[in-house]
Structure 1
Amino acid sequence: MAPEVIMGQAYDGRCDWWSIAIILYECLYGRTPFYCENRQKTKDSVVHHRSTLQFPVHERWSRPASDARRLLPPPSDAVTDLLQAILTDKEVRMSSRQYRHSEARLGRRLSTASHNPLAKYVYANGADEIKAHKFFHGIPWSQMHLMQPPFVPRVKENQSITKYFEDEKDIVTDDSSSFMSIKERLELQSDVDDASAKAALGTHFERWKAERVEKEKYDLGLEECSDAELRRIKEHFGADYEKWKADRAQQVYEERVQHGIDPRGLEGKKEKKRARDKLLRDPVVGKKVMEIRKRGAFFGYSYRRPKALGEMEWLKARQGLKRPTILPVDSTVRLQMSVRTLLQDIQLHVGGEKSWTQERSPSIRR
Structure 2
Amino acid sequence: MKDCGQPDSSRYRDFFGRHVFPDDAEDIKSHRWFKNVPWDRLQTIAPPFIPHVHSAEDTHYFDESDVIEDWSKSSPSGVLLTPEDVRQVLHDFEPRVQSQAIKLIESPFDSTKLRKMDRQIEESQELRLEEKEMLKHFVRLYGQKDRKRPRDILLRDQGIKDGVMDIRKKTAFVGYTWRRMRPGGYTATRIID
Normalised to the residue count of structure 2, the TM-score between the two structures is 0.31
Rg (Cα) greater in structure: 1
Normalised to the residue count of structure 1, the TM-score between the two structures is 0.19
